[in-house]
Amino acid sequence: MLTPQATVEETRAAFRWEIPARYNIGVDICDKWADREPERIALIDVGSDGVGTEVTFGALKARSNQLANALSKTCQRGDRIAVLLPQGVETALAHIAALKMGCISLPLFTLFGPDALLHRLKDSGAKVVITNAEGAAKIAALRDQLPALERLLCIDASEAAEDFHAAVAGDSTDFTPADTASEDPAILIYTSGTTGNPKGALHAHRVLLGHLPGVEMSHDFFPQDGDRIWTPADWAWIGGLLDVLMPALHHGITVVSRRMPKFSATEAFDLIRRFGVRNAFLPPTALKIMRQAPAEAAKGLTLRSVASGGETLGAELIDWGRATFGCTINEFYGQTECNMIVSSCAALAPAEPGVMGFAVPGHEVEVLNEAERRICATGEEGAIAVGVPDPVMFLEYWNNPAATEAKFLRIGGEKWLLTGDRGAKTASGRIRFIGRDDDVISSAGYRIGPAEIEDCLLTHPAVQLAGVIGAADAIRGQAVWAYVLLAEGFAPSDTLAAEITAHVKSRLSAHEYPRAVRFIDAMPMTTTGKIIRGALRALAAQDQTD
């Protein structure tokens, strides 16, 4: 755990990794606490009726052992077990059982269509899928294309799959976990990717330990007495699974489980209030939607910490968050291959709007000039990179050695993982995010990051969500275009577009304001809540030809 010091620098200097040679995530997040305090509450599972069911660590161990015994009839160590479920008890059980078996858990998002599922299941060679009725119907239609798939277990009624509960009911609650090394493969998460098919990022058991300092920092030295955590982010993604569920269970902290079919600001506020949530990971999209809710919806909250990541936060959101939650939103940064490596921490230093934060203790994060193979000077734009080795870093891309090799760069005797993001080091030692390599706008000789303009657009009362891209321009090379989803009560018009443009021009600068504002009915988003700027660029290209 991080030991709080007076400054970020002192906290970094006091930190040392303690990665044991033998380590198993499933044992750590379940059996460890079950053996010490079996009645300790691991989960509060909130159903669609709003009723919360408490699940103890003792129950989690017994039920995951039954599942491990049931799955052991099909799977051997190293086999892939896919989990196609929303947040819930069975989701946690499936991951814990797979990990205790020495198998590789494969989280899958319930909103994936057939093509996305087919690619991931076929590429990984998954032997078992654990899902619900909706997922079972999708997998059943693909089964003849998945020769490695031997079992399909369903947690509710389905004619297309084996009954999950019946399959495990008769098995023993005793199970001897696999003796795994911290370097052994544990979790396979497919990246969303901007080009080509998604790649499977294979992580070792040590990945959870690698996440801990970033989680602790982003939640102002988590855990503390009375902490209880929730996120709307699905556990199928690294942000839900390894930023919330697993770190909290490692620390013996109760996780509130509730995956909303569609995110609702009112329901989110109500959930936080009713179940005494003290810590929340709220993606920027969730924050922007919550910001639109009436002020009275946020009354009675007892939050101690709020963390956010995925898109850069601006001063407007940070100020709103402080007034609404009673604490400063800590922004963190990472990616599927190497997560939670940068974070702000209000307990150590005031937030710097528009700047992600400091390199988390234990991680070496720099900005590199790739062409000249050197570390950039303060303020110089370059590639955000992470020093190798690092406990949170992935092992490899599944069945893709060429892509794995391309992810790294050597400078002298040092090896760096390239995140694919552009940034700059500030005078305070923080990392400022500029954009993805393919998101940075080059306009009239200026390099413009979309995040700052999007933050500014959000300060206009008519703007609920905004996505900024570079559109082809004969004079400037690229021109800044903004796609805007309007807040309730506002209607598209040329007058409003001009007003929004003037708003940005007056608050930022003459070279950054949008040359075009387009109103849209829905913002294209990834399943993790990030704006799909590639889709906006395609839309702009279509707009220019119409």
Distance between CA 198 and CA 18 in Å, rounded?
32
Q: What is the pLDDT of residue 194?
A: 41
Listing DSSP states for 103-145 in one string gives -EEEEE-TT--HHHHHHHHHHHT-SEEEE-HHHHHHHHTTGGG
Q: What is the pLDDT of residue 197?
A: 74
Q: Do 23 and 208 contact (CB within 8 A), yes or no?
A: no
Assign 3-state DSSP to the chain and report helix, strand, coil percentages, each to 5: 30, 25, 40
**Average pLDDT per block of 10 residues along the chain, 546 residues long:** 92 96 98 98 96 98 98 97 97 98 96 87 98 96 97 94 95 98 97 68 98 98 98 93 98 94 92 98 89 93 93 84 96 94 96 90 97 96 97 97 96 94 93 80 73 86 93 83 95 96 84 91 81 90 86
Q: Do 418 and 429 contact (CB within 8 A), yes or no?
A: no
Kindly compute the dihedral angle of the four CA atoms of residues 381, 357, 289, 248, in this order, to the nearest 10 degrees.
Answer: 130
Q: What is the pLDDT of residue 468?
A: 93
Q: What is the pLDDT of residue 61?
A: 98
> Helix (H, G, I), strand (E, B), or coil: what is residue 259?
coil
Q: What is the pLDDT of residue 414?
A: 95
Domain annotation for the chain: domains and CATH numbers: 1-19+206-363+385-420 (3.40.50.12780), 23-44+57-205 (3.40.50.12780), 438-545 (3.30.300.30)
- At 12-34, the pLDDT tens digits run 999 999 999 999 999 999 999 99
CA angle 367, 213, 407 (to 5 degrees): 40
Identity of residue 334: G
Q: Do 432 and 496 contact (CB within 8 A), yes or no?
A: no
The pTM assigned to this predicted structure is: 0.85
Distance between CA 437 and CA 450 in Å, rounded?
12
Distance between CA 13 and CA 15 in Å, rounded?
6
Distance between CA 236 and CA 245 in Å, rounded?
11
Show the DSSP H helices in 300-420 as ranges: 315-325, 401-406
Count CB-CB contacts under 10 A for residue 292.
Answer: 12
Q: Distance between alpha carbon 326 and the CA centroid of its chain, in Å? A: 24
